[in-house]
Chains A and B, each alone.
Chain A
Amino acid sequence: MSTAERSWPLWEVFTQGKDGEPHQHAGSVHATDAEHALQNARDVYARRNEAVHLWVVPSAAITASTPEDMGPFFDPANDKAYRHPQFYKVPKGVKVF
């Protein structure tokens, strides 16, 4: 059996540090199924109070942009300064936004 056949599927792990915070990508684990992935994620990424909540997602379910996409996908946003919020002056008197 090849290594690929022997190894378990890969899962991406997202941890939430506190209630209300966004889930952030922490890393990945190998596991046979979702419940197993949750356990492994807990042991590898959340055993020292790093998280109050966990998501695991099959890595195969993620559709990602490719490195070649870098130019066409992301460049156009950068040469139009008015697309960035920093372009706009914050009116006087606004403290929280």
Chain B
Amino acid sequence: MRASHPALAPALLRIADDRLILGHRTSEWCGHAPILEEDIALANIALDLIGQATLVLQHAGAVERAGRNEDALAFFRDATDFRNALLCELPRGDFGVTIVRHFFHGLYSVLQWDALARSTDQTLAGIAAKALKESRYHVRHAGEWVIRLGDGTEESHRRAQEAVDALWPYTGELFMQPADEADLVAAGTTADVSLLAGPWRAQVDDVLRRATLRAPSDPWMQRGGRDGRHTEHLGHLLAEMQIVARSHPGAQW
């Protein structure tokens, strides 16, 4: 096997870590969702996301050729080695925060997987084509909820708007194209995420309008996750996610 571009493994980690961390966050709802049907829906979405992460981490491990499989990458990296966007690691909040975040990240995911399905990296293209179908469903689920919460009761509207306001500054990072991926984008291996911002915003605006919600006008955006600079929340999440694997290294389950 020909050695891959040195930027490929880090680029794959950015893709995988978003799904792994958001998937783990979503799994926190298991047994706590407002109704049984929603409990099942959120658990399914969490499993989809962790499944997507598994496939991309496997690929990253193979590309990296450092002997790390998907479990090693998920459970034996520390916070500074994770490359997920900050949006994914924020606490799960109330149901409004969870839904708005799924909507924001799900739309981004659909656009990113759609672009990656045409990747010149055949493995990545295959994963993207499969994941795209799942993410389309996630957006449908979250989008319908955003409309119902925003255009629902006074309290649901207030909470949904608070979620939009709180999460908005974390959406910009999704579309900041990492400089070290220039060669990969030129080769058609990964997608230039900055090109996804326009279509994303158009679809967000459409749903927010139907939900009687508004996007904040403040353009200032948080960043750091793609370079391994995280909020305090990631460390706590990792402690919980990694404890079993680290306490019993090599265990099979």
Contacts and interface: CB of A to CB of B under 8 A. Distances in A.
Interface of A: 8, 29-33, 35-36, 39-40, 42-44, 47
A40 B148 contact: no
B29 to A, nearest CB: 13
B141 A32 contact: no
A6 B92 CA distance: 24
Smallest CB-CB A-B distances: 7 pairs: A40-B37, A43-B41, A43-B40, A29-B37, A44-B40, A43-B44, A47-B44
A43 B134 CA distance: 12
B121 interface: no
Contacts of B141: 39
B179 interface: no
Interface string B152-183: 00000000000000000000000000000000
B148 A39 contact: no
Interface string B130-163: 0000000100110010001000000000000000
Give the bracket for the number of chain B residues in contact with chain A. 10 to 19
Given A30-B37, A31-B37, A39-B144, 13 more contacts: A8-B35, A32-B148, A33-B148, A35-B144, A36-B148, A39-B41, A39-B140, A40-B38, A42-B137, A43-B37, A43-B40, A43-B41, A44-B37
Contacts, number: 27
A91 B21 CA distance: 67
Contacts of B37: 29-31, 40, 43-44
Residue of B37, B144, B148 with most partner-chain A CB within 10 A? B37
Nearest to B40: A43
Interface in B42-63: 44
A26 to B, nearest CB: 13
Nearest to B39: A43
B49 to A, nearest CB: 14
Contacts of A30: 35-37
A87 B40 CA distance: 48
27 contacts: A8-B35, A29-B37, A30-B35, A30-B36, A30-B37, A31-B37, A32-B148, A33-B148, A35-B144, A36-B144, A36-B148, A39-B41, A39-B140, A39-B141, A39-B144, A40-B37, A40-B38, A40-B41, A42-B137, A43-B37, A43-B40, A43-B41, A43-B44, A44-B37, A44-B40, A47-B40, A47-B44
A12 B35 CA distance: 17
Nearest to A36: B144
A73 to B, nearest CB: 33
Residue of A30, A35, A39 with most partner-chain B CB within 10 A? A39
Nearest to A7: B35
A39 B147 CA distance: 14
A30 B44 CA distance: 18
B12 to A, nearest CB: 27
Interface string B180-205: 00000000000000000000000000
Contacts of B38: 40
